[in-house]
Amino acid sequence: MNISELKQKFSEVFGSKNTLRVFASPGRVNLIGEHTDYNGGHVFPCALSFNTYVLIAKRNDRKIRLFSANFTDKPVIEADLCHIVYDKKQDWANYPLGVLAVLLKREYPIDSGFDILFWGDIPQGAGLSSSASIEVATAYALSSVFDLRIPKFELSKIGQEAENKFVGMNCGIMDQFASAMGKANHAILLDCNTLNYKYAPLDLNGVSILLCNTNKPHNLIESKYNERRSQSEHALQQLQSKLSIKALGELTEEEFEANKELITDPVERKRAKHAVYENQRTLKAAQKLQEGDLSGFGKLMNDSHISLRDDYEVTGAELDAMASAAWEQEGVLGARMTGGGFGGCVVALVQNEHLETFKNNVARIYQAKTGYKPDFYVASAGAGAREIK
């Protein structure tokens, strides 16, 4: 839907005559650095040109009404500014309501209710972080409409707190940070331990970032995601019996190998190994990109997927089938799962002259192995949260 169609839909749903403003916040793809964010390591995402759009108008009372133009069969969800609580029946609306709950808890002066409509072109269930996009778009819209003047950097933390404390998904900061802080044609190297970051130009020279959607939906809250985080944290505690570290991301591969026997559970040792090695891979990959060595970057992507498959065990049959089909193709520099895992997308670097052959071959192989028909999207790095005038 375009903006004028969304405004028409807003009018049909809410009938509001109050001032209407429009905001957008992107999804993201993580090029490398998976499950390192909550382990205090580095990530290397870029914001996408897919977005969640938010249309919002203040009300003259304390009622909040929410509607998604993606789910037109679902009714308007209503809440009261004085009583914002999690309710599973609220479904997708728990993400924006969680943001509102965090803002109210922090005593930001939101002094009236509002009508708010959402629509997104981020493929659902693809692991491209539509939930973080909703959270950041909501936070940015509320900050603007109520003149709260919250820096974008802080909005990402508000979105993360909403997902952690309100929704119950124990995610790291990466998704919300990329959605808030994204920059067109750039990736972001983010140190999740310190939140120091720098932008890296995506000079790909005849190579495309291709998203290969397995169309195996994932629901991270009901998956093993929180279990992986718990295993990593317990491994860290055992390493801390000897090492003065705050996060697994502080270790080099050599330091980990010298001390890994402190982790008594072999499964937890594998989880920690992934967090340490993946962090180092991410730093090496950012350097390869800076040097223009896309083949070297691609090899590190392949190694990342293998580690996520064997040490962190978050891939599954569909992601593995997609990645292995990608690795067989001419013109592919590298491919790996992206996002939390257990479904969603593989991200691949593919030379442009081989793009169509790659898609045809991978689709055929993948569908024969899994029964799912994949989708493909050429990704471009888009801007972060913004108002659309």
Q: Which domain holds residue 14?
A: 3-201+383-388
% residues pLDDT > 70 (the chain): 98
Place of tokens 């920059």: 183
**376, two tokens:** 């493909």
Q: What pLDDT score was predicted for residue 219? A: 60
Q: Does some domain include residue 73?
A: yes
Is 218 a residue whose pLDDT tops 70?
no
Q: How far is CA 120 from the centre of its chain?
A: 14
Per-residue model confidence as pLDDT tens digits over 23-52: 999 999 999 999 999 999 999 999 998 999
* Strand order from edge to edge, sheet including 207-213: 332-338, 345-351, 207-213, 375-379
Alpha-carbon distance of 329 to 32, in angstroms, equals 20
Q: How many domains is the chain built from?
A: 1
Is residue 222 one of the residues assigned to a domain?
no
Distance of CA 207 to the CA centre of its chain: 23
Report the CATH number at residue 99.
3.30.230.10
Mark whether 175 is an active-site residue.
yes
CA-wise closest residue to 381 among 24, 48, 50, 127: 48
Band of pLDDT at residue 222, cut at 50, 70 and 90: low
Q: Which tens digit of pLDDT belongs to each residue from 166-204?
A: 998 878 899 999 999 999 999 999 999 999 999 999 989
Q: Is the pLDDT of residue 223 over 70?
A: no
3 state DSSP class of 46: strand
Which pLDDT belongs to residue 375?
A: 95
72 in any annotated domain: yes
As a whole number, mean pLDDT of residues 141-145 equals 98
Neighbouring C-alpha atoms within 13 Å toward the C-beta of 41? 29
pLDDT at 224: 82
Per-residue model confidence as pLDDT tens digits over 280-298: 999 999 999 999 999 999 9
What mean pLDDT do residues 334-360 have?
Answer: 95
- pTM of the full structure: 0.91
Exposure string over 88-97, b if 16+ CB within 10 A, otherwise e: eebebbbbbb
Residue 206 lies in a domain: no
- For 240-253, what is each residue's pLDDT tens digit? 999 999 999 999 99
Within a domain: 92? yes
Q: Which of 31-35, 88-92, 267-271 has the lowest mean pLDDT?
A: 88-92
Domain-embedded: residue 57: yes
% pLDDT > 90, the chain: 87
pLDDT value, residue 342: 85
76-85, 209-218, 305-314: which range is least confident on average? 209-218
For residue 127, pLDDT over 80 is answered with no
Q: Assess if residue 109 is contained within a domain.
A: yes
Q: What is the pLDDT of residue 73?
A: 86
Q: Average pLDDT for residues 311-317, to the nearest whole number?
A: 95
One of 175, 191, 303, 320 is an active-site residue; which one? Answer: 175
Residue 124 is predicted with a pLDDT of 74
- Is residue 258 pLDDT above 90, yes or no? yes
